Structure formats: structure tokens, C-alpha cells
Amino acid sequence: MAAENYDRGLGDVLEQELMTRHTSWRVGGPADIYFVPKSRERLCAFIRDLPPTMPIYWIGLGSNLLVRDGGIRGAVVAVSHALGEIRYLGGGLVEAGAGVPCTVLARKCVRWKVGPAEFFAGIPGTVGGALRMNAGAFGGETWDHVISVDVVNRQGEVASRDADAYRVAYREVTGSPDEWFLAAHFHFAQRLATSMASVRSLIQERREKQPLGLPSCGSVFRNPPGDHAARLIETAGLKGFCIGGAEVSTKHANFIINSGNATAADVEALIDYVRDTVQQVHGVSLVCEVHIVGEPTNKGGSEKGGWQ
């Protein structure tokens, strides 16, 4: 179905948009439909207009996402513009749209003298993605501070859900599969002594320990209980190991970088190789943290969609 069938002034609608332009790995084939809504209301109208069986994928900064080379059969919704509002409500309450970068949330909370929120500076994605996977860094986790969320369903209907409507675990959040996050309400404590220096310090620590500036997705694997995926990968002798243009970072072993000419197939093959090698060497089965979507070729597909 042509993209113009959906365009009623709701936003920018593109056909066959290459996802290499929108993912931090800089790989991935085309999406059938790529939609950049102008507002929450126009986003809801767009969803209502979609065929009920068309998969919907949500993307923020594309930092925890591997799109296969065959691309995505369905509609991709980019939320960073329409859902990018953030405001302080007083009393330690912060409302942030799903498209707000986590680094922005961290800085705003410091200015508003609430926290602890500095850890959000270590999450290379948006609030929506952080909600989807209970993202965390430097000892903090997203859902420790969530009191409620706004969601939208396939019919374009918006609702509010209390935090206890979700089952939350390490890097895992379970709720209705047919609802997606639009915004979150966070509660933080008053912290009059907080300063921007704490955020700058955490960002500097990331720069020193992680291969920032190179195409990657952030951490590829979850840390197993009582251990670190990076340690297991490094001691398995995999730092610097390459498949095609995909390479295990020599700076942080839980990062896979695109050295310049990687395909999504290269990255996925390296993910599988690292997981298999760690299993053989350490007897530990690493769980992938990155979301892998799309088709290895340009044929077919029956993905249901989801938040990335």
C-alpha cells in the first residue's frame, strides 16, 4: 500500500527508507513505511489508519537495534520529534516523552535539583527504549523511578497505566504486547546539592571505557548474574575478533562496532559467534540485549512489531 494513502498532513511519510540512516550501527535494509509524526495526536491518527495486520516498529535513536539487510516489512514510527517534550511538574515529578534522549533527561533533572537521575546519562537511547527494556547504567535502572506511563494501542487510543501494571526485571519489562509507550511520569527525590559536574563525570567515564564515536549499539549482551558479559567475552579471547566489517571492540568487549563496511549479516553472525564461544569456554549462555528485527533478504516477513 502506497505511503501517500497514509499522508493526511500527519507528518513525513517515506517509502523504502534505508534504516542505515536511522540506526547507530549504520546497517539495515529499507522499511516499507517510515513515519515521522508531527504530534502525538497525528501519531495516533496514523496508527488508526494502518491496516490492522501491519506490523509497527517504534524507533528513538536506533541505538539498541539491529535491522537485517532485507529491511522491515511494516511501518516504522520515529518518535523523537513528536514525543520529545519534557517538563518538571514539581514535588520531584518529571514528565518525559518517549522520544526524549536519556542524556537530556539526566541533564534536566540535575538542573531541577532532583534525582538520582545522573545514571540516565549512561543510557545511549530514548526514554521509550529505556522503558521498554528497563535500561540502566552506573547502578541505576529506569523503572526504579517510574510511577505511571502513557500508552497507545493499535486503535490509536491513549491510556494511562500505573507502574505496577508491568512486570519489571533486569533489562526486561512485560506488559500488554499491543500497547506502546508514549511518555512516562518519574518521581525523584529533591537533591539540592546536585550539580552538572556529576553528569559530565559519568559521560567522561563512558568515553574512557566505551568506543564512543564508532558505529555500535551500546552493550550487546546482558550481564549474567554475578558477572559481566564484557569480562566473559574478553577472557574468551574475542577482543578484536572480526566477521566481515563487524568487530568486537578492543576497548570494551561487550560492544560490537561497524569498522566501516559491515552488513547487518556480519553483525548478527558475530553476535552468534561470540555467544557460542562464551558458551564453549565458560559454560555461560549470554542473553542478547539488542533487538534484532527485519528480514535477511527482501522477501516476506511476519514480524509483529514492537518498541525498539
Read off the amino acid at residue 26.
Answer: R
Whole-number Cα distances in Å, 124 to 103, 206, 264: 8, 10, 20
Whole-number Cα distances in Å, 19 to 67, 124, 214: 7, 18, 17
Whole-number Cα distances in Å, 45 to 42, 180, 238: 5, 15, 48
Report the C-alpha gap between 206 and 72 in whole angstroms: 31
Q: Which residues are catalytic?
A: 171, 219, 289
Identify the H or E element spanning 93.
strand 93-97
* DSSP helix, strand, coil percent of the chain (3-state; round to 5): 25, 30, 40
In the numeric block, which cell numbers belong to residue 248?
A: 568486537
Residue from 123, 117, 79 nearest 98 by CA: 79
In the numeric block, which cell numbers belong to residue 261?
A: 563496511
Report the C-alpha gap between 224 and 10 in whole angstroms: 43
**Secondary structure of residue 305 in the 3-state scheme:** strand
Phi-psi map region of 227: left, alpha, beta (phi>0 left; psi -120 to 50 alpha): beta
Report the C-alpha gap between 134 and 31 in whole angstroms: 26
Report the C-alpha gap between 308 and 288 in whole angstroms: 14
N-terminal to C-terminal alpha carbon distance within the chain: 24
